[in-house]
Structure formats: structure tokens, C-alpha cells
């Protein structure tokens, strides 16, 4: 295999040592013969122990999660070394090849293959994952959120390179509950198709399974801050409610819905026409692309005539993902919605859907302008791309997911989060019941 560079061929060979597999299997059969078959009582076998062959292994994640300065400095230096940069890159072709043997792929990558608790099994989730590149990141995200009782729809941008499509298709074909969206669109930044990608997954998820309780949408740069069990518990405590940003639209954003826009050469621009008010005089609220909503909300999106009209109306607006979900959340009769009155406004900080750090809101605790501490990674379009130094703060937040991560720029942030979700955390809850 010419395309396999030595560094990571070694890594993945080590993942799949016969010894490692036997160890897992023997622990598995121990569980099977235990007095309470079905759910595991100890999590140790889930640890990513084989990941100790990754180039990130020299980092002490316990120290990083505690925010220890020396260790963070070390991590930062490591990230910028040439060797490290070379070793962490995994080409798309690797996945096309590795996913040929699904059993081995799931075993060596340590996917969770059975529900870890009765509570989780009885509360399946539906995920929409909208991605366009970086198969490596996608696979780590899928692995982090994967549970066999959940269902996952993956939308790969229609303009993505063929190798990205092929690699992600190969991965999804290893799981009966992970599938490619039936209709992929060409996603244009700030354009309607960003919403259409999620809508297509919503329709497929709604049609494929009748049992899931909540819908969560993800993009390739998200990563969970909670385990599946914690996500289930957080959602149950919403008691049927939805959790997403939905607040008054700032004056400077109003032009996004009063002017008409169109896509020209893959870019969105004004047509020069103005738009009529929204149908049924629905008040337009401001929010973001990421939502946590119950099944009834999704049914309304697909079937409610008022929402169908709103969707048609929104197709020539600017960045409809940043107001459509927020607006639907305040339409009377939508399951889990709240009244349009301002007192029900919810900010992104109070919602649990996503933690995003905007550069303009960073600062120190005493400042009236500041919403969160300064970004320890770097910024892309005024949004923080988290560094390892952000983890200590991130894992204390109530949000289920955070955005943005970049597995190429700061792989240690993701590496330590993965370890935390599988290892640090479950250690505190070895007895599930
Ligand atoms: C990693 O950091 C933790 C927390 O500071 C410390 O207790 C532990 O000894 C360190 N482990 C290693 C192998 O250095
Ligand atoms: C769901 O599936 C049915 C039957 O296959 C089809 O007629 C319907 O259009 C689908 N609905 C959606 C929302 O995709």
C-alpha cells in the first residue's frame, strides 16, 4: 500500500495487535457471563489504551485538563514540530481500506458496540452530521458520539472530493445505524443549502426510525463535552423542551431577512430586491445553526404548513441557519417550543446545544463585555478554534457540544477530550446501577 506512510501504518498495526483484541474479547465475555448481562459495570475496557501509540501520547492529559501551565506549554511546542505534524495526518485512503474489514475496524477503533446502560438504551438519539472534508476528524467525532441505539445521518457536501465521499461512505457502511443522506446538496456559506442539508437528514432520520427521542445536529468541527449517558440525562431533564439559542434579532442582522439574496458562482450576494414580511407575520428570532430538539419539533418542521411556508420564504435570505430554527422554536403549537414573548428568549450560553466562543465576547470575568475567558487556541472568522488550554474551562460548561475544533491544528485538544470522555469521566461512575 503505497499511500500508507510508515508512521501511522505502525500506529494502526499496533491498534490491532492480536493481544489487544483477545484482551477486549476476554473482558467482553467476562461481562457476558456476569450476573447482570447486558450492561457493563466497569468501563476500563473502553479506555483508548492502544492510543498510547499515537504521537500525542507524550502529553499528560490529566495535567492538561487541570490547566497546568508547563504541560500546556509542552503540548503547544509539540504541536508545531514538523515530525508531529507529519505523523498526525491520516489520508482518506486509509479509511477506505480500513473499513473494508468492519469487524476489525470497530474493534481496533474501539467503537462502543452495545448500549452502556438501560437508561441510554431506552432513550435513543438522532444525529445529523454535515461535513465536507477532513475524514480523520469526522471519524473521531463519530467514534465519540457513537452508540448502537442511536441513529446517524451523514451529509457529505456534494462538492467534496471523491476520496472524502468514498472514505466516509466506507465508514458508514460498517454500521447499520449510520447512513449517508439520501439527497446531498452543495452547501454554500451563509446560503440556504446549509439548512437544506440538515433538513434532508431530518427527513431521513424521521422516516428511518420512529423510536428516537431527540435530534442533534453536528458539523465536522464539533466535539462532545459529555458522554452519551450525560447527554441522555441532560435531555431527559429538559422534560420535552428544546434547547437552542432563540432571542431578539440584533438591528444589524435585520437586513439579512429584509433583503433578497441569491447564489452567484458559489457565493451569496444581494439581488437588489426587498422581501415581504415572513408568512403569518411570524416574528423572526436570532439564533445559530446548532440545535437540540425533540422528535415533535422535527415532525413540525417536516409537516406543519406554517413552517413549510416559512421555509419557502427563507430560501432567499442571508444565513437562514441563524434564524430559522430560532424562529420555529417560538411558533405556537410546536412541541417543546416557548411563547414568543421576550421573557422566553434564550441565549447560546443558556442553551445546551453548543458552546462557541466569539472573539468579541472574550475577556476577564470582571468585565461587563466578557462572556468567556480568552481563547487559548486561535481564531477563524472571529470564532475560537480551541486549544488544549481551553479544555479545563470547556468541560465545566453545561453545553453538550463545543465548536470549533481542528484535529490538524490542535490535535491534543481532541486527544485529551477523547480520553476524558472515555476514561477520566466514567471512572467516577463505575457502578451504573
Ligand atoms: C500527570 O499529571 C498529573 C496531574 O498533575 C500528575 O498527578 C501525574 O503524576 C502526571 N503523570 C505523569 C506520568 O507525569
Ligand atoms: C418517507 O418515506 C415515505 C415512503 O418511503 C415517502 O413517501 C415520504 O416522502 C418520506 N418522507 C420524507 C419526509 O422523506
Burial of 15 (C-beta count, 10 Å sphere; 0-12/13-18/19+)? buried
Check whether residue 22 and residue 170 sit in a common domain: yes
Q: How confident is the model at residue 244 (pLDDT cuts 50, 70, 90)?
A: very high
C-beta of residue 216 within 8 angstroms of C-beta of residue 196:
no
Q: What is the DSSP string of 342-394?
A: GGG-B-TTTSSS-EE-BGGGB--TT-SS-SBPPPSSEEETTEEE--GGGHHHH
Does 317 map to a domain? Answer: yes
Same domain, 82 and 216: yes
Task: Specify the 3-state DSSP secondary structure of 218.
Answer: strand
> What's the Cα-to-Cα distance from 382 to each of 39, 120, 157, 373, rounded to whole Å?
44, 36, 24, 14
Protein residue closest via CA to atom 13 of ligand 1: 60
Active-site annotation holds for 312: no
As for ligand 1, residues whose beta carbon falls within 6 Å of it are: 60, 62-63, 66, 68
| Whether residue 191 sits in one domain with residue 72 | yes
Shared domain for 174 and 302, answered yes or no, is no
340 and 356 both lie in a single domain:
no
In this structure, the answer to whether residues 194 and 306 fall within a common structural domain is no
Cβ < 6 Å from ligand 2: which residues?
203, 207, 302
Rounded to an integer, the average pLDDT of 256-268 is: 96
- Using CA atoms of 145, 149, 153, 154 in order, give the dihedral in degrees to the nearest 10: 40
Residues 308, 334: contact at Cβ < 8 Å? no
125 band by pLDDT with thresholds 50, 70 and 90: very high
Q: List pLDDT tens digits, range 13-70.
A: 444 433 334 344 434 433 433 334 345 444 444 566 555 567 788 899 999 999 999 9
Please spell the DSSP secondary structure of 44-113, one letter per residue: GGGS-GGGGGSGGGGS-HHHHHTT-HHHHHHHHHHHTSHHHHHHH---HHHHHHHTTSHHHHHHHTT---
CA 416, distance to chain mean position in Å, is 16
Write down which residue in 344, 375, 410 finishes a domain: 344
Q: Across the chain, what does the average pLDDT equal?
A: 88
pLDDT in tens, 332-376: 999 999 999 999 999 999 999 999 999 999 999 999 999 999 999
Q: Is residue 395 part of a domain?
A: yes
In a domain, 1, yes or no: no
Catalytic residue among 56, 139, 322, 418: 322
Of all atoms in ligand 2, which is nearest to the CA of residue 203? 13
- In this structure, are 357 and 397 located in the same domain? yes
Domain assignment of residue 432, yes or no: no
> Above 60 in pLDDT, residue 5?
no
Which domain, by its residues, includes 225? 6-238+352-427
Ligand number nearest to the C-alpha of 74: 1
Query: Residue 287: its pLDDT value, please?
Result: 98
C-alpha distances in angstroms, 322 versus 26, 91, 348?
49, 33, 12
Q: Which ligand is nearest to the CA of 183?
A: 2
The last residue of one of the domains, among 310, 328, 344, is: 344
Q: 204 and 301 share a domain?
A: no
Instruction: Indicate which atom in ligand 2 lies nearest the CA of residue 182.
Output: 14
58 and 184 part of one domain: yes
Boundary residue ending a domain (292, 318, 344): 344
Give how many domains the chain has, as a whole number. 2
Amino acid at each position: 500500500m503505497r499511500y500508507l506512510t510508515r508512521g501511522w501504518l505502525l500506529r494502526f498495526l499496533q491498534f490491532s495487535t492480536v493481544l489487544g483484541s483477545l484482551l477486549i474479547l476476554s473482558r467482553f465475555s467476562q461481562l457476558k457471563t456476569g450476573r447482570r448481562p447486558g450492561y457493563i459495570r466497569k468501563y476500563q475496557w473502553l479506555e483508548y489504551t492502544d492510543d498510547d501509540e499515537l504521537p500525542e501520547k507524550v502529553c499528560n492529559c490529566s495535567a492538561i485538563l487541570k490547566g497546568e501551565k508547563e504541560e500546556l506549554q509542552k503540548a503547544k511546542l509539540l504541536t508545531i514540530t514538523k515530525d508531529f505534524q507529519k505523523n498526525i495526518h491520516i489520508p482518506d485512503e486509509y479509511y477506505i481500506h480500513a473499513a473494508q474489514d468492519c469487524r476489525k475496524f470497530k474493534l481496533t477503533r474501539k467503537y462502543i458496540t452495545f448500549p452502556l446502560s438501560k437508561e441510554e438504551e431506552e432513550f435513543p438519539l438522532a444525529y445529523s452530521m454535515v461535513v465536507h472534508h477532513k475524514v480523520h476528524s469526522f471519524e473521531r467525532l463519530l467514534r465519540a458520539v457513537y452508540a448502537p441505539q442511536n441513529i446517524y445521518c451523514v451529509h457529505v457536501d456534494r462538492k467534496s472530493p471523491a476520496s472524502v465521499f468514498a472514505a466516509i461512505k466506507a465508514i458508514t457502511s460498517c454500521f447499520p445505524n449510520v447512513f449517508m443522506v439520501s439527497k446531498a446538496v452543495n452547501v454554500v456559506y451563509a446560503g440556504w443549502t446549509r439548512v437544506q442539508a440538515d433538513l434532508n437528514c431530518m427527513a431521513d432520520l424521521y422516516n428511518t426510525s420512529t423510536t428516537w427521542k431527540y435530534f442533534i445536529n453536528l458539523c465536522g468541527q464539533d466535539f462532545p463535552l459529555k458522554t452519551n449517558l450525560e447527554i441522555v440525562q441532560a435531555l431527559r431533564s429538559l422534560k420535552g423542551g428544546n434547547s437552542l439559542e432563540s432571542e431578539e434579532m440584533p438591528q444589524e442582522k435585520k437586513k439579512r431577512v429584509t433583503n433578497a439574496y441569491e447564489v452567484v458562482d458559489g457565493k451569496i450576494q444581494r439581488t437588489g430586491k426587498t422581501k415581504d414580511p415572513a408568512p403569518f407575520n411570524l416574528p423572526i428570532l436570532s439564533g445559530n445553526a446548532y440545535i437540540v430538539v425533540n422528535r415533535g419539533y422535527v415532525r413540525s418542521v417536516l409537516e406543519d404548513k406554517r413552517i413549510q411556508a416559512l421555509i419557502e420564504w427563507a430560501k432567499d435570505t442571508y444565513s437562514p441557519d441563524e434564524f430559522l430554527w430560532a424562529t420555529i422554536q417560538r411558533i405556537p403549537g410546536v412541541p417543546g417550543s416557548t411563547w414568543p414573548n421576550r421573557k422566553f428568549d434564550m441565549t447560546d450560553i443558556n442553551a445546551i446545544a453548543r458552546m462557541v466562543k466569539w472573539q468579541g465576547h472574550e475577556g476577564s470575568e470582571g468585565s461587563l463585555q466578557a462572556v468567556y475567558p480568552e481563547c487559548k487556541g486561535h481564531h477563524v472568522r472571529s470564532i475560537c478554534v480551541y486549544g488544549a488550554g481551553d479544555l479545563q474551562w470547556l468541560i465545566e460548561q453545561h453545553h453538550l457540544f463545543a465548536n470549533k475544533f481542528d484535529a490538524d491544528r490542535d490535535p491534543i485538544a481532541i486527544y485529551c477530550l477523547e480520553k476524558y470522555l472515555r476514561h477520566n469521566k466514567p471512572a467516577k461512575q463505575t457502578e451504573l446501577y
